[in-house]
A and B are shown apart, each in its own frame.
Chain A
Amino acid sequence: GAVVSQHPSRVICKSGTSVKIECRSLDFQATTMFWYRQFPKQSLMLMATSNEGSKATYEQGVEKDKFLINHASLTLSTLTVTSAHPEDSSFYICSARDSGTFNTGELFFGEGSRLTVL
């Protein structure tokens, strides 16, 4: 099946630094990708919808300037956590849908990136 790759899988950074997480669709094109945040023992929380060639759509309560999303190509979206603080520590997951499939095709998920801010 289709593969979505996330990198890095784990990252530890100091408070105040910025961290970039990449999400790549390896064998399909994705005009739309999704970024989630997941706290321990909780469900996925959609943060934003990443649109190739245009601005991301953020969910209510998610700071655009804090979580920068860039979707510069049909196979790559990046999430940058700017000026990270300990409360930003979380598990970040991306997903993508094959643009060539019907609108209700399944979402393929990345393996997630665990961010720890010291």
Chain B
Amino acid sequence: GESVGLHLPTLSVQEGDNSIINCAYSNSASDYFIWYKQESGKGPQFIIDIRSNMDKRQGQRVTVLLNKTVKHLSLQIAATQPGDSAVYFCAEMGPDNYGQNFVFGPGTRLSVLP
């Protein structure tokens, strides 16, 4: 079901280090996943997506890993920068909700320390 009213876990990393944000998704039938970044006071922004026929996808400084066996998704950010500080949401979609809203994870707040 939808993520509702959960308080955000926080990840703190040193500037320049790599960040790994994890997400456990609920529906084994989900076959499309997106990571969104939400800065304070703004709407979510698309970062990277991956379909279930892939295990890994790379973007600029970001990599998404998908482990369908354990229903786990991760977002890796290389050389984390202060501008990466935000809340990160994973979102899943599958045959049950094609064309509808994504199912969002609870989100993780990333804090980049100077």
Listed in ascending order, the chain A residues whose CB lies under 8 Å from chain B are: 1, 4, 6, 32, 34, 39, 41-46, 49, 59, 91, 93, 95, 97, 103-104, 106-112, 114
Q: At the interface, yes or no: B89 with Cβ under 8 Å from chain A?
A: yes
A43 to B36, CA, bound (A): 12
Nearest CB to that of A44 among chain B residues?
A: B104
Question: Range of interface residues on chain B?
Answer: 20 to 34
Q: Please give, as numbers and ranges, the residues of chain B lying within 8 Å of A108 by CB-CB distance.
A: 46
Question: 19 other contacts beyond A1-B46, A49-B100, A103-B98, with CB at 8 A cut-off?
Answer: A41-B7, A42-B6, A43-B4, A43-B6, A44-B89, A45-B4, A45-B5, A46-B2, A46-B101, A49-B101, A91-B41, A93-B44, A103-B99, A104-B32, A104-B99, A106-B49, A107-B101, A109-B45, A112-B43
- Cβ-defined partner of A109 (8 Å) among B2, B3, B44: B44
CB proximity to A under 8 Å, residues B83-114:
89, 91, 93, 98-102, 104-107, 109
Q: Please give, as numbers and ranges, the residues of chain A lying within 8 Å of B106 by CB-CB distance.
A: 43
**Pair A59/B41 contact, Cβ less than 8 Å:** no
Total of A-B residue pairs, C-beta within 8 Å: 72
Listed in ascending order, the chain B residues whose CB lies under 8 Å from chain A are: 2-8, 31-32, 34, 36, 41-46, 49, 51, 89, 91, 93, 98-102, 104-107, 109
